[in-house]
Structure 1
């Protein structure tokens, strides 16, 4: 995790041009891709011992009016590993419910309500333990709200958005998609920890 900065001098707003000048950062650790309900259940059994997970989802983009696709991927990040759950292949959230409904496991992310809403449209569940990062960063005075600018402000790096509008429901994810999805989940964990630490230091 990056060293904490003096919050009195920390930059609170950043432009796209400034972000583009920063060095690229990304998750380069282990990634597990789960494509069956059985594999997902096995991974969830391990994740149930965690207290905090970075959370994100990916959905195949729609380019026509009225076109809609359900979320294809759920990403969960621990300190050491990122798990990619390909729910488009199982067509059920059932294996993940012990995580999604646990009030004891923090799932942190940006615009997390939208992700949860989309998932509940696939299969209704009772969400618990979800934490919105921007609720912390707004209180700390940060003006930007997206994952990319917040990563730039709090972590001093630039995350790639190259795979953002790719087809997340394809038969096999390519390496660029895997790294993109894993990075978003990892960043979602790190940003929460950094914002929480800054909040507690005030």
Structure 2
């Protein structure tokens, strides 16, 4: 039903998608309580995060924004201004609330640096869309293939730690979370049984609410392809020997750092 890939030229011919609902910036205890009321009783939400971009090598910023969207309200949690409440953290830990996003492993790793919770009920669209033969994994291209809309990425590299978020930033952040929910609903309408099977498989891979780590995924790849793992190990060792030959102090420096 869906084409497996799509070009940027094709996407540029599509209508630009806009978030149709209300945006609530959560930056105080008062707005946090309002957000809790919005999410009460919800069982399916879109999810995304934003981090201030760094243009300096070696400089990294922590997560600045968490977006959670219902059908008609997008909540933008400014986690550096107000911590997530116990109620919101409980929702993130609940297997009864499906949180739909893309490339979730890194998002959740960043989230757990700013809020203590045990992730459960997270569904990564990148794993789901493969069941429909879709090869594109970016939200922009998944939205184009499945919903037939163009999702603007013009605000992606803006300052998400600014004192106030601009309206374009708010619209962008709201859209990114909301469109994940819409993609999920469209796939559900197309083939609810296939989606249920895909989601069930993903949730079963989250024992005790844990998302698979990058190390575990790397180990799985090595297990599937042990000869490839051995080749990578040999290349790394050869590179280290070359570096040591070029710089005799390398080994001493690395030993000192390890100690």
Secondary structure at 1:89's aligned position in 2? coil
1:93 equivalent among 66, 84, 91: 84
- Unaligned residue ranges in structure 1 (runs of 5+): 1-6
Q: Distance in 2 between matches of 1:179 and 1:119?
A: 21
Q: Distance in 2 between matches of 1:130 and 1:17?
A: 32
Counterpart of 2:100?
Answer: 108
Change in CA separation of 1:201 and 1:12 when aligned onto 2, cut-off 3 Å: farther
Q: Write out the 4+ residue segments of structure 1 that deviate beyond 3 Å after TM superposition.
A: none
Secondary structure at 1:82's aligned position in 2? strand
Which segment is superposed worse, 117-126 or 59-68? 117-126
- How much does 1:37 deviate? 3.3
Is 1:31 aligned to residue 26 of structure 2? no
Secondary structure at 1:88's aligned position in 2? coil
Secondary structure at 2:191's aligned position in 1? helix
- How much does 1:160 deviate? 0.6
- Greater helix percent: which structure? 2
Verify the 8 A CA contact 2:67 2:75 in the aligned structure 1: yes
Q: Distance in 2 between matches of 1:114 and 1:195?
A: 24
Is 1:142 aligned to residue 134 of structure 2? yes
User: How many residues matched?
Assistant: 193
Counterpart of 1:62?
Answer: 54
Larger Rg: 2
2:158 equivalent among 161, 166, 170: 166
Is 1:121 aligned to residue 121 of structure 2? no
Kindly provide the CA deviation profile for residues 142-161 of structure 1, in whole angstroms up to 9, marking residues without a partner as x: 01000000000011010110
- How much does 1:71 deviate? 1.1
Is 1:197 aligned to residue 189 of structure 2? yes
Verify the 8 A CA contact 1:55 1:75 in the aligned structure 2: yes
- How much does 1:83 deviate? 1.0
Verify the 8 A CA contact 1:30 1:80 in the aligned structure 2: yes
Verify the 8 A CA contact 1:136 1:199 in the aligned structure 2: no
- Give the structure, 1 or 2, with the largest relative contact order (CA under 8 Å, sep 6 or more): 1
Q: How does 1:4-15 map to 2 (within 5 A)?
A: 7=1, 10-15=2-7
1:17 equivalent among 5, 9, 28: 9
Verify the 8 A CA contact 2:79 2:114 in the aligned structure 1: no
Verify the 8 A CA contact 2:15 2:149 in the aligned structure 1: yes
Counterpart of 1:155?
Answer: 147
- How much does 1:33 deviate? 1.1
- How much does 1:80 deviate? 1.4
